[in-house]
């Protein structure tokens, strides 16, 4: 078998291990099942009546139509970064030493981890999609548009899970990373177009909000799911995700290698 073949086989082996973990400790899925459902329901019912979104809410000009892209991207982003917590967890246990001493492809530990988290993100999207439809979400972007939206979200989530790998290899404990994620990712989701239109923000904040990757991905997903054409964010959002991936993938590998050969 070629190097690439072995790498794929080893990565699959790691995915299989992670899936067994999920099967035996289903609470590992709470962050991609229960939390997004709560977010959809809370935001749409609590804020829905108070926030006016105009044409950004699609044909119905409804808040739930506007909101769904934001909830999707927020969930996928958190699930992606959360890779770091799961990796930091693994790094505290002896299993990584076992992997290091085996003639396997060493990076497959990381690709297996990030691929599993891509599956977790896909599950989250499916659940939110159904819950959203139940409370009025009308994605009228057609099959092509909606599939493209999902692809853009997953690419963003995958890129962030490599940021998570880098962060997970840096921190001493998974708990420390949880705190950092909370402090870093929450502002990014709120100072974005995820939950409210950006045009009511003060000018300086608006400049940041409208150009940061979260907003661009949310806007692209919003246009594609609703079949609107307001932001032209598709290409910039993909560029952002690829740029994040190009930096965080080698950085994550390098930090992981450095951490595990101490």
Q: Hey, which residues between 241 and 260 contact another protein (CB under 8 A)?
A: 260
Q: Hey, which residues between 14 and 43 contact another protein (CB under 8 A)?
A: 16-17, 20-21, 24-25
Q: Which is nearer to another protein, 33 or 257 (CB)?
A: 257
CA distance 99 to 55: 53
Q: What's the min distance (Å) between Cβ of 70 and another protein?
A: 34
Q: What's the min distance (Å) between Cβ of 49 and another protein?
A: 45
Q: Which pair of tokens denotes residue 93?
A: 């246990």
Q: Which is nearer to another protein, 92 or 173 (CB)?
A: 92
Told to check if 10 binds another protein by CB under 8 A, we report yes
Q: Which is nearer to another protein, 90 or 210 (CB)?
A: 90
Q: Which is nearer to another protein, 16 or 172 (CB)?
A: 16
CA distance 104 to 131: 41
Q: What is the distance, to the nearest Å, from the Cα of residue 113 to the centroid of all Cα atoms in its chain?
A: 14
Of 2, 200, 229, 261, the one binding another protein (CB under 8 A) is: 261
Q: Which is nearer to another protein, 1 or 50 (CB)?
A: 1
Which residue stretches of the chain are H helix?
A: 3-24, 34-42, 63-91, 95-100, 108-134, 142-170, 174-190, 203-211, 213-226, 234-260
Count other Cβ atoms within 10 Å, centred on residue 25.
9
Classify residue 96 by burial, with Cβ atoms within 10 Å: 0-12, 13-18, 19+: middle
Residue 131, classed as helix, strand or coil, is: helix
Q: Which is nearer to another protein, 20 or 42 (CB)?
A: 20
Q: Hey, which residues between 89 and 108 contact another protein (CB under 8 A)?
A: 93-95, 97-104
In the stretch 54-93, what mask flags binding to another protein with x, by CB under 8 A? ---------------------------------------x
Q: From 112, 96, 158, 120, select the one nearest 27 (Cα to Cα).
A: 120
Q: Which stretch binds another protein (CB under 8 A): 6-14, 115-123, 134-142, 208-216?
A: 6-14
CA distance 189 to 192: 6
Number of residues that bind another protein (CB under 8 A): 24
CA distance 106 to 169: 14
Q: What are the residues binding another protein (CB under 8 A)?
A: 6, 9-10, 13, 16-17, 20-21, 24-25, 93-95, 97-104, 260-262
């Amino acid at each position: 078998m070629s190097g690439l073949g072995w790498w794929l086989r080893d990565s699959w082996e790691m995915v299989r291990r992670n899936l067994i973990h999920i099967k035996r400790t289903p609470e590992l899925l709470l962050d991609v099942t229960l939390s997004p459902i709560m977010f959809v329901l809370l935001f749409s019912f609590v804020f829905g009546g108070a926030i006016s979104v105009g044409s950004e809410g699609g044909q119905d000009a409804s808040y739930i139509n506007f909101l769904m892209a934001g909830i999707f991207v927020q969930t996928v982003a958190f699930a992606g970064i959360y890779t770091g917590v799961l990796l930091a967890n693994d790094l505290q246990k002896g299993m990584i030493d076992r992997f290091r001493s085996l003639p396997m492809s060493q990076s497959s530990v990381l690709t297996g981890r990030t691929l599993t988290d891509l599956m977790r993100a896909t599950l989250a999207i499916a659940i939110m999609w159904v819950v959203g439809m139940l409370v009025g979400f009308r994605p009228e972007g057609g099959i092509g548009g909606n599939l493209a939206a999902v692809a853009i979200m997953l690419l963003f989530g995958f890129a962030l899970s490599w940021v998570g790998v880098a962060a997970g290899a840096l921190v001493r404990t998974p708990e420390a990373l949880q705190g950092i994620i909370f402090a870093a990712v929450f502002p990014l989701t709120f100072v974005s177009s995820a939950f409210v239109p950006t045009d009511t923000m003060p000018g300086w904040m608006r400049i940041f909000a409208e150009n940061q990757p979260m907003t661009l991905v949310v806007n692209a997903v919003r246009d594609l799911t609703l079949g609107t054409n307001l932001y032209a964010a598709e290409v910039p959002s993909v560029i952002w995700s690829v740029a994040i991936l190009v930096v965080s993938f080698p950085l994550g590998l390098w930090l992981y290698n450095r951490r595990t050969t101490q």
